[in-house]
Amino acid sequence: GHDSSDAEPEYNSDIDSDDAADRIDAADQADIRDADLGDVRHDDVAGVHDNGIAASEDGDVAPAGDRPGHAARKAAVQRQPRVFLQAGGYPVDRVDAPAPIVPPAAELADVDAGAPAATLLNVAAAGTPVRFLGIYVGQRVDPAYQIQLLTDRYYGSFQHWGYRARIVQGRRLLASAVMASLLWHVTAAVVIPPTTVTAWQRLLTRYVLGRKRDPHENYRSLLHTSWHHDRALGAGAPHLASGIRTQRLLMLQRLMLPVDERPLWAPLVLAQFAECMGALFRASHPYDFLFYLPHQGTKWLTLTALHPFWVSVWREWSKTPMTERVGVLPSFDTAMNMPVWLTTYGPMAVGPIHHASKPVRVARGRRWCLNGARNRLHALRDFTTPGGAWLSWQQFVGRMRIRNTATRVYLSRHGRITLAVAPNSRAVYAHLTAVYNTLRQSYRVRTDVVLPRPPETAHPFATTIKNHVVPFERWPRATVKKLAYHAPKPTRTHPLISATRPTLAHVRTYLSTSRQLLRAATPVHADVWLRLVLRMLPVNARLPFTQHIEPDVIFCSHDCSAVETELHAFYTCPKIEPLWAWLDTSWHPLGAAVRWDTVTTYEIRRSFEKVLPNAACTMLR
């Protein structure tokens, strides 16, 4: 029943319903607002006495149940679970439970007595996880609870599905369609520690390349890490960290949509960013944080005011290359509107100094810079006069010290009280002046010409798509995935680089043609061929580090006393070489002798494709 004490009930307000709130129509939102959901207390309802009697303006009293709108308010309370189920995508017409909440008899009495609607909801105790649309939410719930459940389910999928694929292509399909798909629903709303993502990725890669299903099983990769995730040049194993970053950037896109298109939660998130940015926040440019790094130790930012999920979004964005974020050179007016204090934008750097607060070495000087930001001095545009002229040193210092209660004074030799200059202030002014002059030179704007003050502009994060400049919030999903992809870059030479294939472009063409030819072969033969050309076969020559235990481990398994390499195992071994001689008869009409060097040469394979499409299939068999 309803507790009539003064203690306010605890509300579970951490439910992350993804885009569920976007699908609640206006009528339902009005019902929710009319239901007085909030921290309205029983004794604070205007015009309601302790005995549940409502007083009118002329002094007459009436039972609270007879008040106008009370029945609609009561019905709205009972409709709320159904509204949220409908917004979350559940077919409420075919769902028997959970049904709309029916308050107990004691709570119905409270409704008749005029109790607020919020007290009629079932509130979970603090620390109790509540599952909503597959995500566990609640007050003061251990974040590791959801992650551990997901990890157990993810590891269990390898034991259940891992035996259903024998080749690399099949395991890659299972990894992307089954194992990784278990993660995406949760990672879209839950912050995953990097160590957990690394553990997930380690098992996924080991499964694709080596059929390993136990995270604690020993494994030595036969393919360098550079080629684990490249679909065209390597094994093509899914890269989980890139997928999570894609989800974060897609969520950032929704936040940056225009006012008439953004979701209902966007103003709440922007308010958190405004509190986090503090003096650096500009209402005209709410996305200035995209130029900054989410540093934990700086006093310019208050990351504790920001939800951990959006800290993760900000951190993933900051790890993307600036040259790809700003794919189109911004205009001069846009550059003049960019922030200067903690920016990571390249043209704002002069030598080793990357931003305007970098020259300051003491705490008092940093507080002086922060006070200048409170005085709305954020961009180069703010350091110009209304007529467009650059501020002089005296004007600059005067604007920076406005409302600065920490300004120090001293008595000069002439007996005058003089304002002290903040430490490193001249270095800050020199840096800003150098950035301004460099910017004008890069845009070929004469420095001896006074330009009008630039107008306010939008953010510069845009790129060219089909000959059109598209802002970040309008980028297609494929472009966002390309920006988010950050698999390890190649640091080793590709195993297929040779005299006939000197570049990666030639290797890509060769592998593409090979995969097309191998579609006619059986999957097992195609898998052996792919692992052969990528040097992924576990021949004994790869085991010299175990010779101190087994000296003969590197020799051929056919007892021919030769080191077992790919060439020996598939061509020069006395047990294998007669098979090549037998194939010469079949290939003689084509005019090409079947040798080790010919079957791995792109030109010979292309001639086979023209003469006989299934020739490669016959050769492999």
Quickly list H helices, 518-590: 523-533, 566-567, 577-587
Q: Residue 221 — φ and ψ, nearest 5°?
A: -70, 135
| Predicted local distance difference test score (pLDDT) of residue 63 | 42
State how far the Cα of 471 lies from the Cα of 488, in Å rounded to an integer: 28
Q: Residue 448 — φ and ψ, nearest 5°?
A: -90, 10
Residue range 98-109: mean pLDDT, rounded: 47
| Predicted local distance difference test score (pLDDT) of residue 585 | 74
The one-letter amino acid code at 122 reads N
* Residues 336 and 454 sit within 8 Å (Cβ to Cβ): yes
| Predicted local distance difference test score (pLDDT) of residue 286 | 92
Give percent of the chain above pLDDT 90.
31
Q: Residue 285 — φ and ψ, nearest 5°?
A: -135, 75
CB environment 118-139: b (16+ within 10 A), e (fewer)? bbbbeeeeeeebbebbebbbbb
Stretch among 27-36, 137-146, 326-335, 386-395 having the lowest mean pLDDT: 27-36
Mean pLDDT estimate for the chain: 78
- Place 93 in a pLDDT band, splitting at 50, 70 and 90: low
State how far the Cα of 207 lies from the Cα of 203, in Å rounded to an integer: 6
| Predicted local distance difference test score (pLDDT) of residue 85 | 52
* Residues 310 and 302 sit within 8 Å (Cβ to Cβ): no
Helix (H) or strand (E) holding 135: strand 135-137
More confident position, 227 or 588: 227
| Predicted local distance difference test score (pLDDT) of residue 597 | 61
State how far the Cα of 595 lies from the Cα of 396, in Å rounded to an integer: 78
CB atoms under 10 Å from CB of 25, counted, come to 11
State how far the Cα of 513 lies from the Cα of 506, in Å rounded to an integer: 11
Per residue in 46-77, pLDDT (tens digit) is 333 333 333 333 444 344 444 445 565 556 55
| Predicted local distance difference test score (pLDDT) of residue 601 | 55
- State the distance between the two ends of the chain, measured CA to CA, in whole angstroms: 77
More confident position, 220 or 593: 220
State how far the Cα of 249 lies from the Cα of 251, in Å rounded to an integer: 5
* Residues 593 and 580 sit within 8 Å (Cβ to Cβ): no
The one-letter amino acid code at 168 reads V
Of 479, 364, 519, residue with least CA distance to 428: 364
Q: Residue 381 — φ and ψ, nearest 5°?
A: -60, -35
Residue 382 in this model has a pLDDT that exceeds 50: yes
The neighbouring-strand residues paired with 350 are 353
More confident position, 473 or 113: 473
* Residues 81 and 44 sit within 8 Å (Cβ to Cβ): no
Q: What is the 3-state secondary structure (H, E, C) of 341-404?
A: CCCCCHHHCECCECCCCCCCCCHHHHHHHHHHHHCCCCEHHHHECCCCCECCHHHHHHHHCCCC
State how far the Cα of 119 lies from the Cα of 42, in Å rounded to an integer: 9
Per residue in 122-179, pLDDT (tens digit) is 778 888 888 888 888 888 888 888 899 999 999 999 999 988 888 898 999 999 999 9
The one-letter amino acid code at 594 reads V
Grouping H, G, I as helix, E, B as strand and the rest as coil, residue 501 is coil
More confident position, 244 or 448: 244
Stretch among 109-118, 279-288, 456-465 having the lowest mean pLDDT: 109-118
| Predicted local distance difference test score (pLDDT) of residue 70 | 55
Stretch among 40-44, 195-199, 243-247, 586-590 having the lowest mean pLDDT: 40-44
Per residue in 180-207, pLDDT (tens digit) is 999 999 999 999 999 999 999 999 999 9
Per residue in 247-283, pLDDT (tens digit) is 999 999 999 999 999 999 999 999 999 999 999 999 9
State how far the Cα of 619 lies from the Cα of 597, in Å rounded to an integer: 14
Quickly list H helices, 216-307: 240-255, 266-277
Grouping H, G, I as helix, E, B as strand and the rest as coil, residue 136 is strand
Of 236, 130, 158, 245, residue with least CA distance to 194: 245
| Predicted local distance difference test score (pLDDT) of residue 72 | 58
State how far the Cα of 458 lies from the Cα of 429, in Å rounded to an integer: 26
